[in-house]
Amino acid sequence: MPAVIETIAASRCPRCNLVAAPPTAYCPNHPVAMTPTEVQGIGEVVSFTTLHSPPEGFRSPLHLAIVELEGGARFFCHGAGTRGLKIGAAVAIEAVDDVYYFSHLGAIDRARLFWRRAGHAGDRVNAITRSLAKRVWKGRTRAPR
């Protein structure tokens, strides 16, 4: 897990609340100007793939994912690998040379993250419990077919 959670520039549609990262001038679904906002570089995998014949300028295999960031934006990024990755898995996003990469967060990373964010002791325990419960629940219902 990165030491500092990345802050990513985004924009929000005042009409439908769609959050776009990177920011867009207009909402893709409404002819209204977007309001600037920020999202956190942490979220859940919506889908991922590994491309075995990537276009020129990219190394094979190329790992790609769409991640739903905290704050609601769906984000397109690279990854170092997809071994063991599942839809719904928690990942952190980091920029390396202006290119965004996702990395898998394990149970300990998730606990540390919630610990750091939790306001006081009660919240910490609740947050960790929620995180672990969610992980167990996902592991059961979203197992690959």
40, HSE (Cβ side, Cα atoms, 13 Å)? 13
Confirm or reject binding of residue 84 to other proteins (CB under 8 A).
Answer: no
Is 2 or 61 the residue whose CB approaches other proteins more closely? 61
Looking at residues 116 to 135 of the shown chain, list those that interact with other proteins (rule: CB under 8 A): none
Q: How many CB atoms lie within 10 A of CB 121?
A: 8
Among 77, 91, 92, 105, binds other proteins (CB under 8 A): 77
* Least CB distance to other proteins at residue 28 (A): 4
Report if residue 106 touches other proteins, rule: CB under 8 A: no
C-alpha span between 11 and 69 (Å, rounded): 13
Alpha carbon separation from 8 to 51, 76, 132 (Å, rounded): 25, 12, 26
What kind and span of H or E run contains 63? strand 62-70
- Decide: is 11 part of the binding site for other proteins (CB under 8 A): no
Q: Are 68 and 43 in contact (CB under 8 A)?
A: yes
Rg (CA), the chain: 17
Write the single-letter amino acid at 68: E
Which residue's CB is nearer to other proteins, number 54 or number 71? 54
Q: Tell whether residue 87 is a contact of other proteins (CB under 8 A).
A: yes
- Of 3, 17, 36, 52, which one interacts with other proteins (CB under 8 A)? 52
Q: How far apart are CA 78 and CA 51, in angstroms?
A: 11
Question: Of the ranges 3-11, 30-38, 47-55, 119-127, which one interacts with other proteins (CB under 8 A)?
Answer: 47-55
* Cβ proximity to other proteins, 52 vs 120, nearer residue: 52
Interface residues with other proteins (CB under 8 A)? 18, 20, 22, 28-29, 46-58, 62, 64-66, 74-78, 82, 87, 99, 142, 144-145
